[in-house]
Amino acid sequence: MFRVLTLASEFGSGASSIARRVAEELHWNLLDDGLIREVARAAQVDPETVRKYDEHVEPWWRRFLTAGLRAACIHAGATLADAQRVDLATTMAIITQQVITRAAATGNCVIVGRGAECVLQDRMDVLHVFIYGPWAERVSRVSRRGHPLQDLERRIRRIDRERASYLRSHYGCDWKDSHLYHLMLSSQIGDEEAARTIVDIIRNSGVIARIRISMSLPAS
């Protein structure tokens, strides 16, 4: 029986709207912007710091610089834990993974992005879904959010690359590998229909699980 939903997506495909509908219908906790607040609380930093590094992988020159800073910290007598804090992106990814793991253990939650499909891949009670959409629809949806039209397409491509890089760097996963997901849905079917499809699968998962168990039991 599914107790957790992870929802990964292409930028601008409506995953946040779909996640909100699913959470409301099931009366589950939604960890989207809420996940940022949880990570900020765990890291004891302000939410804006987490947003800055959320699903980002630092470029190679910054990683090179921070590696040097960590070495300098250790040489100066700082602890390894203190030195590790220099690499904020990696630290935030580790804390995010811990928050995701704790949320899944509690159950009844929808987790949007942040590599949750990789973190929770071995849990049998988690449904993994990927949302994608036609390019023109994604551009239109993002433009309606009030983002400047200038360089809008470049922004969408950049965020998609950052999401793919985040999973590849921290988890060694291909962002669009179909084997990571139980279901891949096109946003063309609409947010409401996508949410209804996901809710139906979750609600019916208990019935399916009971059927599987009964089929596996030896005949009396």
pLDDT, tens digit, for every residue of 39-57? Answer: 555 555 555 554 554 444 4
Catalogue all structural domains in the chain, each as residue range(s) with its CATH number.
4-60+86-212 (3.40.50.300)
Provide the CB-side half-sphere exposure for 180 (13 A, CA).
Answer: 23
**pLDDT tens-digit series, residues 157-199:** 988 998 898 899 889 999 999 999 999 999 999 999 999 999 9
Q: Which residue has the higher pLDDT, 213 or 77?
A: 77
**pLDDT tens-digit series, residues 85-123:** 445 566 667 777 888 888 899 899 999 888 999 999 999
- For residue 91, the model assigns a pLDDT of 67
Residue 5 CA: distances (Å) to CA of 68, 126, 130, 151, 152 = 39, 6, 11, 33, 30
- For residue 153, the model assigns a pLDDT of 87
